Chain A
Amino acid sequence: MDAAEIAQQAANGLTLGLLYALIALGYTLVYGVLQLINFAHGEIMMFGAFYAYAFMEPMSVETASGLAALSALAAGVTAWDRFGSRRGRIAGACATVLAGGLFGGAAYALSRAQLGLVAAVLAALPYSALLAAALERIAYRPLRAENRLIPLISAIGASLFLQNLAQVDPWFFGTIRKSYTQIPPSLHNEAFSALGVRISNLQMLIAFVAVVMLTGLHLFITHSRLGTAIRATAQNRRVAALMGIDTDGVIVLTFALGAVLAAVAGVLYGIYLGSIYPFMGYMAGIKAFTAAVLGGIGSVPGAMVGGLVLGVLESVGAAFIDEGYKDAIAFAILIAVLLFRPSGIMGSSTREKV
Chain B
Amino acid sequence: MTRDAKLRLSGWILTILFLASLPRLLPVTFVLGDYRIDLGLHHATLCALFVIMAMGVNLSIGFAGLLDLGFIAFIAIGSYMMSISLTFRSPVPWWIALVLAILVAGTVRATLGATCLRLRGDYLAIVTLGFGEITRVALKNNLFGLTGGPDGIFLGSASIPDFLDQSRNPVPLYFLSLAFAAGSSFALSRWKRSRAGRAWEAVREDETAAAASGINIFRARLWAYGLGGAFGGLAGGLFAIYNTISHPSDYDFVESVKIVAMVVLGGMGSTGGVIAGSVLFLLLLEIFRGLAEYRMLIFGATLVCLMLFRPQGLAGRRS
Which A residues lie at the B interface, using CB under 8 A? 35, 37, 138-139, 142-143, 146-154, 156-165, 167-169, 282, 286, 289, 293, 322, 324-325, 327-328, 331-332, 334-335, 338-339, 342, 352, 354
Contact = CB atoms under 8 A, between A and B. Distances in A.
Interface of A is mostly: helix
B67 A149 contact: yes
A8 to B, nearest CB: 24
Contacts of A158: 300, 304
Q: What is the interface residue range for chain B against chain A? A: 35 or more
Nearest to B137: A328
A324 B141 CA distance: 7
B300 A159 contact: yes
Nearest to B149: A324
Contacts of A142: 308
Interface string B57-88: 00001000101010000000000000000000
B154 interface: no
Interface of B is mostly: helix
Given A142-B308, A150-B307, A160-B257, A165 B127 contact: no
B140 A324 contact: yes
Contacts of A37: 122, 125-126
A160 B133 contact: no
B121 A164 contact: no
A327 B125 contact: no
A175 to B, nearest CB: 8
Given A152-B125, A154-B304, A164-B300, 7 more contacts: A153-B303, A154-B307, A161-B303, A167-B293, A286-B130, A331-B134, A339-B116
B297 A327 contact: no
Given A168-B293, A334-B130, A149 B125 contact: yes
B13 interface: no
Contacts, number: 128
A325 B137 contact: yes
A352 B123 CA distance: 12
B122 A157 contact: no
Contact of A342 (B69, B119, B138): B119
B297 A168 contact: yes
B297 A165 contact: yes
Contact of A139 (B116, B296, B308): B308
A34 to B, nearest CB: 11
B211 to A, nearest CB: 10
Contacts of A352: 120
Nearest to A135: B304
Given A157-B302, A169-B293, A338 B208 contact: no
B254 interface: yes
Interface centre among B208, B301, B303 (most CB of A within 10 A): B303
B129 interface: yes
B308 A143 contact: yes
B260 interface: yes
Given A328-B137, A331-B134, A161 B126 contact: no
